[in-house]
């Protein structure tokens, strides 16, 4: 077991290295650089631009820049933002926390909705099964930014008192903060709930066909107890797994949703830093997001193996 | 353990009812696709107005002249919808074809060769995989500039790993089957072995996944356009229309609802097709 965890974590290292190199090269392929965008339209002499580049370390060869950055990154320093001159880590983490909270609420919503519909279609079969399938197909066809736009439209037309764009920081008013994230999270959660629903259905059907469920029923346990203690409990493992695997798409989607609902998360920040060519910030956001995705995948793998004795390396 | 438990539980055996439902879904999806393709192909003849023509009649509601009203600078929404679909669907079709071609080659080669080649290809794809798809698309399009060729290239890059994995999986088991061994023993070349003895047996999951990828690509194309990273302005496109309309949506809800409905229709088409194909071809293993 311990060996397995070490192997999985070790496999993540080359992936993250690859991601960091790719991100490093990618940002430098952007047309123009920070010195140019910061100078703007004003007539700045080539000498001034060169001096700016020298101060930012952009005149060194790219491999030297990368090794320098990597050295700092390994000690937890992701560089200094060109634009604000503040450490990138202290700029990113408050925003990352907002995005993370949004993603978490969305994941919980998706699980609640998906387990409910999946369970209904597996247990009731027949018409309920078809209704759920139709609902899932339809929900899946509405992209999250379309859902979000329609929610904003409906709220604006019929419920102007809600105040859609009133994002409240968590530490000022926790309840209002969660309230302000509910609709954005809902628009993210819908599509993911379909994956959860389909997997819940498949898992419940598979487990219901197994001997221990039959035995439980035969020895006279109440149907409700069989349902919750035998079916749902065992079906939950694969459900948690697939929800975990969808974290990547939740994080990516939150960029769109944050833009629509004006939430100060990573989305807006990434956008601004791409526009101003703030290399360290772009690199850090890409790397941190990729690290979260890779880490969640490893955790999901490990949780899966722990929960299911049949899975071996 | 009773004797009955020794019998395999045939959960995934082809159920005639599911297969019949599959035919129906494929028929419905095919019909939706046909409607979309016809409207797209004959767009310039069907569209009642020039999609870029401005008129003083802005944010108008439904009328006999403008079936879906007009937008904030008086352009006909229906015409923009029809012409905008051409851009969106063209990018989608070309990008997915490229991703499918690359995914087929990578998946077949890496699944068939195995060993070091397989490891190298799969680890390289893992790097692309570790990026959230949409984040990667934003980064690449922003880097290269939002033009139609760049959008196509980006989306092809982003979806190649997914298709390559779907191809590789079944190839790993099919290449060990007896008929492949038999063909090899009578001296069939490796290329023919892969193309005519392995590929036909792994085609079903590829069809299903391609259909799903088309749906996802519609999402990515329209979402990028929504963020302002779509095809450049004079040509209309669905994502861009949705974004532009947000400013005045309470005055003219139709300007938002029309492109939203078009996006949903296109995505739904490919989801229906994918579900139908899955039932019809009895592709097991849900993702």
Q: Minimal Cα–Cα distance from B58 to chain A, Å?
A: 19
- Residue B131 CA to residue A290 CA, distance in Å, equals 5
Instruction: Reply yes or no on whether the pLDDT at B100 is more than 90.
Output: yes
Confidence of residue B239 (pLDDT cuts 50, 70, 90): confident
Q: How many CB atoms lie within 10 A of CB B177?
A: 12
**C-alpha Rg value of chain B to the nearest Å:** 23
Helix count and strand count (H, E) for chain B: 11, 0
For residue B116, which phi and psi values (nearest 5 degrees)?
-60, -45
Whether residue A149 and residue B227 make contact (CB cut-off 8 A), yes or no, is no
Contacts of A269 in chain B (CB under 8 A): none
Which residue in the set B5, B223, B257 is minimally distant from A211, CB to CB?
Answer: B5
Quick one: which of A190, A303, A198 has its CA closest to A250? A190
Contacts of A270 in chain B (CB under 8 A): 135, 138
Query: What integer pLDDT is reported at residue A39 of this predicted model?
Result: 64
| Cα distance from N-terminal residue to C-terminal residue, chain A | 10
User: Tokens at residue A302, please?
Assistant: 């490990």
3-state secondary structure of B76: strand
Query: What integer pLDDT is reported at residue B11 of this predicted model?
Result: 44
Note the pLDDT tens digit of each residue in B82-96.
888 888 899 999 999
Contact yes or no for B155/B95 (Cβ under 8 A) = yes
Whether residue B133 and residue A282 make contact (CB cut-off 8 A), yes or no, is no
Query: What integer pLDDT is reported at residue B4 of this predicted model?
Result: 40
Which residue in A has a C-alpha nearest to residue B262's C-alpha? A142
Note the pLDDT tens digit of each residue in B114-128.
778 888 888 778 777
- Residue A56 CA to residue A74 CA, distance in Å, equals 20
Q: Is A138 on the interface with B (CB under 8 A)?
A: yes
Burial of B110 (0-12, 13-18, 19+ CB in 10 A): buried
- Residue B176 CA to residue B284 CA, distance in Å, equals 20
ipTM of the complex: 0.78
Q: Minimal Cα–Cα distance from A185 to chain B, Å?
A: 17
Q: Is A262 on the interface with B (CB under 8 A)?
A: no
Selected residue of B12, B32, B131, B147 to mutate for chain A interface (largest A Cβ count, 10 A): B131
Quick one: which of B104, B128, B91, B156 has its CA closest to A294? B128
Percentage of the residues of chain B whose pLDDT score is greater than 90: 12
3-state secondary structure of B218: helix
User: Tokens at residue B266, please?
Assistant: 């296109």
Contact yes or no for B98/B154 (Cβ under 8 A) = no
Whether residue A138 and residue B215 make contact (CB cut-off 8 A), yes or no, is no
Note the pLDDT tens digit of each residue in B31-76.
999 999 888 888 777 777 777 777 777 667 777 677 777 777 767 7
Q: Minimal Cα–Cα distance from A67 to chain B, Å?
A: 19
Helix (H) or strand (E) holding A106: helix A88-124
Q: How many CB atoms lie within 10 A of CB A240?
A: 17
- Residue A115 CA to residue A194 CA, distance in Å, equals 9
- Write out the DSSP string of B115-140: HHHHHHHHHHHHHHHHS-HHHHHHHH
- Residue A148 CA to residue A202 CA, distance in Å, equals 29
Per-residue pLDDT for chain A (313 aa), expressed as one digit of tens each? 677 778 777 877 887 888 788 777 777 776 667 776 666 655 667 777 777 777 777 777 777 788 878 877 777 777 778 777 788 888 888 888 888 888 889 988 998 999 889 888 887 877 888 888 888 888 888 888 899 888 888 887 777 776 677 777 777 777 777 777 888 899 989 888 988 888 888 888 888 888 888 888 888 888 888 877 777 777 777 777 777 777 767 877 888 888 888 888 887 788 777 777 777 787 788 778 878 877 877 777 777 666 655 554 4
**Angstrom distances, CA of residue B278 to CA of B169, B205, B229, B271, B284:** 17, 8, 33, 10, 8
Contact yes or no for B22/B280 (Cβ under 8 A) = yes
**Dihedral class, residue B7 (left if φ above 0, else alpha if ψ from -120 to 50, else beta):** beta
Whether residue B143 and residue A290 make contact (CB cut-off 8 A), yes or no, is no
Greatest Cα pair distance, chain A, in angstroms, is: 87
Burial of B187 (0-12, 13-18, 19+ CB in 10 A): exposed
Query: What integer pLDDT is reported at residue B177 of this predicted model?
Result: 82
Selected residue of B8, B13, B29, B139 to mutate for chain A interface (largest A Cβ count, 10 A): B139
Quick one: which of B41, B96, B90 has its CA closest to B274? B96
Which residue in the set B5, B138, B143 is minimally distant from A29, CB to CB?
Answer: B143
Whether residue B286 and residue A286 make contact (CB cut-off 8 A), yes or no, is no
**C-alpha Rg value of chain A to the nearest Å:** 24
Query: Which residue shows structure tokens 């389909």?
Result: A198
3-state secondary structure of B113: helix
Confidence of residue B147 (pLDDT cuts 50, 70, 90): confident
Torsional sign, CA A296, A297, A303, A304: positive
Q: Is A15 on the interface with B (CB under 8 A)?
A: yes
User: Tokens at residue A263, please?
Assistant: 């939430």
- Residue A259 CA to residue B211 CA, distance in Å, equals 29
Q: Is A163 on the interface with B (CB under 8 A)?
A: no
Query: What integer pLDDT is reported at residue A41 of this predicted model?
Result: 54
DSSP category for residue B65: S
Whether residue A150 and residue B143 make contact (CB cut-off 8 A), yes or no, is no
Q: Is A205 on the interface with B (CB under 8 A)?
A: yes
For residue B131, which phi and psi values (nearest 5 degrees)?
-75, 140
Q: Is A156 on the interface with B (CB under 8 A)?
A: yes
Note the pLDDT tens digit of each residue in B244-262.
888 777 777 888 888 899 9
3-state secondary structure of A87: strand
């Amino acid at each position: 077991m311990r060996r397995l965890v070490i192997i999985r974590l070790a496999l993540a290292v080359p992936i993250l290295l690859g991601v960091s190199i790719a991100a490093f090269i990618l940002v430098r392929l952007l047309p123009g650089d920070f010195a140019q965008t910061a100078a703007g339209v004003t007539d700045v002499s080539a000498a001034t631009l060169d001096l700016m580049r020298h101060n930012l370390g952009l005149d060194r060869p790219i491999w030297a820049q990368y090794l320098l950055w990597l050295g700092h990154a390994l000690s937890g320093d992701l560089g200094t933002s060109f634009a604000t001159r503040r450490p990138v880590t202290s700029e990113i983490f408050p925003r990352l926390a907002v995005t993370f909270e949004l993603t978490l609420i969305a994941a919980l919503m998706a699980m609640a909705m998906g387990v409910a519909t999946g369970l209904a279609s597996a247990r009731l079969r027949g018409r309920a099964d078809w209704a759920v399938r139709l609902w899932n197909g339809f929900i899946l066809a509405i992209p999250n930014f379309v859902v979000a736009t329609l929610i904003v439209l409906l709220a604006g037309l019929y419920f102007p008192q809600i105040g859609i764009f009133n994002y409240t920081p968590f530490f000022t008013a926790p309840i209002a903060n969660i309230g302000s994230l509910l609709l954005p999270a809902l628009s993210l959660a819908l599509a993911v709930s379909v994956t959860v629903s389909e997997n819940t259905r498949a898992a419940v059907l598979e487990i219901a066909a197994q001997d221990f469920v039959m035995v439980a029923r035969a020895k006279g346990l109440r149907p409700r107890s069989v349902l919750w203690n035998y079916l749902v409990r065992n079906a939950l493992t694969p459900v948690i797994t697939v929800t975990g695997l969808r974290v990547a798409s939740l994080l990516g989607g939150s960029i769109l949703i944050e833009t629509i609902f004006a939430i100060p998360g990573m989305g807006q920040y990434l956008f601004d830093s791409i526009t101003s060519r703030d290399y360290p910030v772009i690199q850090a956001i890409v790397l941190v997001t990729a690290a979260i995705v890779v880490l969640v995948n490893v955790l999901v793998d490990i949780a899966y193996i722990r929960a299911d004795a049949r899975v071996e390396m | 353990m009773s004797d009955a438990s020794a019998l395999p539980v045939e959960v995934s055996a082809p159920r005639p009812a599911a297969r019949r439902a599959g035919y129906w879904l494929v028929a419905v999806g095919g019909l939706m696709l046909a409607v979309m393709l016809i409207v797209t192909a004959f767009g310039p003849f069907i569209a009642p107005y020039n999609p870029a023509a401005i008129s003083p009649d802005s944010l108008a509601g439904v009328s006999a002249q403008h079936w879906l009203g007009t937008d904030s600078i008086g352009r006909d929404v229906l015409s923009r919808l029809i012409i905008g679909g051409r851009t969106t669907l063209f990018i989608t079709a070309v990008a997915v074809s490229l991703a499918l071609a690359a995914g087929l080659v990578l998946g077949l080669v890496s699944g068939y060769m195995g060993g070091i080649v397989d490891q190298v290809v799969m680890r390289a794809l893992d790097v692309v995989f570790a990026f959230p798809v949409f984040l990667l698309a934003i980064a690449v399009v922003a880097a290269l500039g939002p033009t139609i060729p760049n959008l196509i290239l980006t989306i092809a890059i982003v979806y190649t790993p997914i298709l390559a994995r779907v191809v590789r999986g079944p190839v790993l088991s099919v290449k060990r089957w007896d008929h492949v061994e038999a063909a090899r023993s009578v001296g069939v070349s490796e290329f023919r072995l892969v193309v005519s003895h392995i590929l036909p047996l792994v085609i079903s999951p590829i069809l299903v996944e391609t259909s799903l990828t088309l749906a996802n690509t519609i999402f990515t194309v329209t979402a990028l356009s929504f963020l302002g990273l779509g095809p450049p302005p004079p040509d209309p496109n669905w994502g861009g229309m949705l974004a532009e309309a947000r400013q005045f949506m309470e005055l003219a809800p139709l300007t938002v609802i029309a492109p939203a409905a078009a996006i949903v229709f296109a995505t739904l088409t490919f989801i229906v097709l994918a579900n139908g194909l899955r039932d019809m071809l009895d592709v097991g293993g849900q993702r």
